[in-house]
Amino acid sequence: MSPHELQMLEREQNFGTSGGDTTDGKSQLDRRDFLKFLGGGLLVCLTPLPSFAQESGHAFGSHELPTDISAWLHIDADGRVKVFTGKVEVGQNIRTSLAQAVAEELRVPFDSITMIMGDTDLVPWDMGTFGSRTTPTMAPQLRNMAVAGRELLVEMAAQRWNTDSSKLIAAAGRVATPDGSKSLTYGELTRGEALVKSVAGDPPFTPATDWKIAGTPVPKANGRDFVTGKHQFPSDVVRPGMMFGAVLRPDGFNATLASLDTSAAEKMPSVKVVHEGDFTGVVADDPFLAERALKLIQAQWSVPDQQGNQGLFEYLKNSPDGKAEGADHAADALAQAIAGADVQLEARYTVEYIAHAPLEPRAAVAEWNNGKLTVWTGTQRPFGVREELMQTFQLPADKVRVLQPDMGSGYGGKHTGEAAIEAARLSKAAGKPVKVVWTREEEFTWAYFRPAGLIEIKAGARRDGTLVAWEFHNYNSGPAAIGTPYEVASKLIQYHPAKSPLRQGSYRGLAATANHFARESHMDEMAHALKMDPVAFRMKNLSNPRLKSVLQAATDKFGWTVAKSAPERGYGVACGTDKGGFVATCAEVAIDPATKQVRIRRVVEAWESGAIVNPDGLRNQMQGAIIQAIGGALFERILFGNGRVQNPLFSKYRLPRFTDTPQVEIVLLDRKDLPSAGAGETGLVGLAPAVGNAIFAATGKRLRSMPMTPDDNKLPA
C-alpha cells in the first residue's frame, strides 16, 4: 500500500465514506466447518443490510453474501460467549471495552466473554484498526448482535415455558420469569443446539444511564498475562521446527543493486540464502547466525542524491502532488476581510517527520501447510496484510490466514505487511516456519513516517477580539482536523498534497497534531496581539458547547485565572476537536535560567467523547497521549539526507522518558446522552500548542517548529 493510499484510507475514515479495499470479504471456513469449530450453541450473524456497509466496506455492503459466515457472536453450551471482530488490540484497550459493550447488551458477566480478534479465518472482514473508529462503529455493531442474541434467548425461554416473552427478564447470563420461579442459564437454553440467528434491524440499545458493565473501570482483559510475561506478542510466536530469517537492506532509499556476492554466507553451515528478484535474505536455525550470515553478504548499491532535512519545507511547498483540497472561490473575499481587519497576523509553522517507534518492531512468523500460508504478525490491518500476501504469492483468500496477537503497539505505524511477506518468502524457500523480527534500525528506516509539513496562516480580527478572517494552508502533513472550530466569517482552508521525500503514512493523530499546533499557536499569537487573555479570546470565538465545556473544565482545574507567567515559568492553553473527541490542554513549563532548558511541569487535560465506556481505560489513553505528544512537541525528529535515516537508533532518536514526565491531571466529562466516540488519538493534539504557548508566555519567544527544543530541550537561540 502506497503512502498516498494510506492517507486516502485515513481520510475516507475521517469523512465516513466506505473504504476502497478490493477484498471480496469471504470468510474462509464454510458454515458447517465454522459451526464444528464452535460446537453447538447460538450463533448470531449479520444479514447484509446497507446500514452496515459503512464500516465493513464492500464486504457486507455488497449483495453477494449468502455463503459468508459473517458471524459476530457465539454462545456455547457452557454459557461462554465468543465475540468475533477484525479489530485488533494494540494497547488502546478495545479487547476490554468491546467486551464490556457486549456484556452490557447481552446481560452476561464480563468474564464470560472471550474476544476473538484479528484472525482472518475466524472473524468478519474489517478494513483495519485506525482512525479511532472502533468505539463509534464496531462497538455498536457488536451491541447490535448482542441485543439480537439476548432477544432470541428470551424467545427460546418463552417458547419453552409457553409464556409471553415480553414478561421475561434477561440478566447475569440467565432468562427468568419476573417472580424468579423459573430460570434458565443461556447455556441451558442453547445446549446441544446449533442455532443461527440473522440480524436485520437496528434494535434499541441500553441507554448509557442504565449501564452496569459498560461505563465502569473494568481492568484490562488478561492483564495478569502482561505482568507475568505469559502474553505472547507477535514476535514471541514459536512454531515447531521454526527457523529465523534476516533480510538484506539497501544502502539507502531508492537504491539499485549494482553487485551481489552471497558466496561467503552460503558457505556457512545450516544457513540458506534466498535470492529472488530484488529480494535477498537468509534463513538459519539461530537468529544470531542469520544476522552473521547477512553481514557476510557483499552488496554494492547505487543510491541517488535525494532531498533531506535541508530546505525540506520549501521543497514540500514546491512539489505538489495533485490538486489542493478545499474551496478556493473565497480567496478574494478573504483577502478583503484580512485587509480590513484591525489586527492582522501571518506566520508559518512546520512539523518534522517523526517515527512511530513502537517498542515491538515489525515481526512475523510464517508457515506453509499444503499450499496454505499462515502468518502471525503485528498489524493494524490483518485483512490488508492478507491482501498483500495474496498478491505477492498469487493465492486466493482461502489459502492465506493472518493472525494478529495483541501486539507491542503501532500508533498508526503498522498498517503494512512487510515482515509478513518477508517471513512468508523465506518460509516458502526454507520449507519450514520462519520468524522475522525487524531490528530497531530496520523499523526506523524501512517502515514509514508521520508526514512532515508546512502550514501557513493568515488571520484577521476586530479590535474587540472577533475573528473575521482565517486563511490556512497545509502542505503535505494532511487534512485531518484542518478546519477551524472557531466562528469566522471569511475563511480559506486548503490541504496541498506534496511529493514526500520519505515514505509516509498513518500516525496516531496524524495531521490533527500539526494542524492543531499551527492553529492553536496562531490563536495564541492573535490573543497576545489583541492584548486579550488567550482563554477569553477563544471563548469569544467559539460556539460549539462541547468544546467550550472542555476548555472551561481544563482551565478551571488548572487554575488558569491565577496562573501568571514569569520568565522562568509559563502557562499555556490549547483546545480542539477531531474524530468526535473534544480536548483542552493546559501546560505549565519551567525554563532553567542557566541552561535555558525547557521542562514541562504540569499538564491538565479535559476530554469529552460522549458516554464513557471505561473510565480507567480512557484516563490511561489520555495520560499516554500526553506523554507521547511530548516527544513530537519537544525533541523527536527524523534526521535524513541522501536516502538515509541518520538517527535510526534509540541512542540517537530521543523518546519521552520518566524524567520528561510532568504531573498529569485528566478531567473526563461523561456525556451519557451522546454516543461514544473513539479516544485513542485526539488526546495528543493539545499538548504541543499548549506547551509552545506556555514557552511564549514565559519568554516572549514564539516557537513555530515541531519539535520545539530538539537540542537537548534548550530554547533555540
Partner 1 sequence: MGEMLLNVNGKPYTVNAPAEESLLSVLRNHLNLTGTKYGCGEGQCGACTVLMDGAATRSCSIPAAAAAGAKITTIEGLEQNGRLTAVQQAFLDEGAFQCGYCTSGMIMSVTALLRDEHTPNEEEILGAMNGNVCRCGTYPRILEAIKRASGHAAGGGAR
From 113, 354, 407, 690, residue interacting with partner 1 (rule: CB under 8 A): 407
Q: What is the DSSP letter of 210?
A: G
Q: Give min distance, CB of 362 to partner 1, in A.
A: 12
620 scored as a contact of partner 1 (CB under 8 A) = yes
**Contact between residue 243 and residue 433 where contact means Cβ atoms under 8 Å apart:** yes
Cell of 33: 466447518
From 223, 241, 431, 567, residue interacting with partner 1 (rule: CB under 8 A): 223
From 162, 278, 658, 717, residue interacting with partner 1 (rule: CB under 8 A): 658
Q: Is the dihedral of CA 643, 649, 652, 654 positive or negative?
A: positive
Q: What is the distance between the alpha carbons of residues 283 and 501, in angstroms, rounded to a whole number?
A: 32
| Among 163-171, 236-244, 367-375, 531-539, the segment contacting partner 1 (CB under 8 A) | 236-244
Contacts of 170 (CB under 8 A, 6+ apart): 107, 150, 153, 154
Nearer to partner 1, 233 or 279 (CB): 233
* 3-class state of residue 505 by DSSP: coil
20 scored as a contact of partner 1 (CB under 8 A) = no
Q: Give min distance, CB of 489 to partner 1, in A.
A: 39
From 168, 357, 429, 618, residue interacting with partner 1 (rule: CB under 8 A): 357
SS3 content of the chain, % helix, strand, coil (to 5): 35, 25, 40
Nearer to partner 1, 505 or 617 (CB): 617
From 70, 85, 93, 190, residue interacting with partner 1 (rule: CB under 8 A): 93
671 scored as a contact of partner 1 (CB under 8 A) = no
585 scored as a contact of partner 1 (CB under 8 A) = no
Nearer to partner 1, 259 or 659 (CB): 659
Nearer to partner 1, 308 or 615 (CB): 615
649 scored as a contact of partner 1 (CB under 8 A) = yes
226 scored as a contact of partner 1 (CB under 8 A) = yes
From 4, 80, 275, 440, residue interacting with partner 1 (rule: CB under 8 A): 440
At which residue does the C-alpha cell 493534539 appear? 685
Q: Is the dihedral of CA 3, 8, 11, 17 positive or negative?
A: negative
Nearer to partner 1, 25 or 656 (CB): 656
From 412, 509, 656, 686, residue interacting with partner 1 (rule: CB under 8 A): 656
Q: Give min distance, CB of 232 to partner 1, in A.
A: 7
Q: What is the distance between the alpha carbons of residues 574 and 595, in angstroms, rounded to a whole number?
A: 27
Write out the binding residues for partner 1, residues 278-317 only, by CB under 8 A.
286-289, 292
At which residue does the C-alpha cell 515559568 appear? 569
| Among 89-97, 157-165, 176-184, 313-321, the segment contacting partner 1 (CB under 8 A) | 89-97
Which neighbouring-strand residues pair with 559?
Answer: none
Q: Give min distance, CB of 382 to partner 1, in A.
A: 17
Q: What is the distance between the alpha carbons of residues 314 and 305, in angstroms, rounded to a whole number?
A: 17
| Among 201-209, 313-321, 351-359, 541-549, the segment contacting partner 1 (CB under 8 A) | 351-359
Q: Is the dihedral of CA 198, 202, 203, 209 positive or negative?
A: positive
Among 400, 359, 546, smallest CA distance to 27 is for 400
From 160, 230, 267, 531, residue interacting with partner 1 (rule: CB under 8 A): 230
Nearer to partner 1, 188 or 616 (CB): 616
Write out the binding residues for partner 1, residues 597-616 only, by CB under 8 A.
616
**Contact between residue 304 and residue 643 where contact means Cβ atoms under 8 Å apart:** yes
Nearer to partner 1, 666 or 698 (CB): 666
233 scored as a contact of partner 1 (CB under 8 A) = yes
Among 516, 412, 495, smallest CA distance to 129 is for 412
655 scored as a contact of partner 1 (CB under 8 A) = yes
Q: Is the dihedral of CA 618, 620, 624, 626 positive or negative?
A: positive
Kindly determine how many residues on this chain lie close enough to bind partner 1 according to the rule CB under 8 A. 58
From 238, 260, 264, 536, residue interacting with partner 1 (rule: CB under 8 A): 238
* 3-class state of residue 443 by DSSP: helix
618 scored as a contact of partner 1 (CB under 8 A) = no
Nearer to partner 1, 108 or 629 (CB): 629
Cell of 157: 425461554
What is the DSSP annotation of 56-89?
HTHHHHSS--TT---EEEEE-TTS-EEEEES---
Nearest-10 Cα torsion for 231, 233, 239, 244: -140
240 scored as a contact of partner 1 (CB under 8 A) = no
15 scored as a contact of partner 1 (CB under 8 A) = no
406 scored as a contact of partner 1 (CB under 8 A) = yes
From 504, 628, 682, 705, residue interacting with partner 1 (rule: CB under 8 A): 628
Contacts of 335 (CB under 8 A, 6+ apart): none
Write out the binding residues for partner 1, residues 533-562 only, by CB under 8 A.
none
What is the DSSP annotation of 603-654?
EEEEEE-SS-S-HHHHHHHHHHHHHHHHIIIII----EETTEES--STTTS-
111 scored as a contact of partner 1 (CB under 8 A) = no
- Give helix 687-699 / helix 510-529 axis angle, nearest 10°: 30
Which neighbouring-strand residues pair with 419?
Answer: none
Amino acid sitting at position 504: Q
Q: Give min distance, CB of 19 to partner 1, in A.
A: 25
Interface residues toward partner 1, by CB under 8 A: 90-93, 219-220, 223-224, 226-233, 235-236, 238, 244, 286-289, 292, 357-361, 406-409, 411, 437, 439-440, 616-617, 620-621, 623-628, 649-651, 655-659, 661, 664
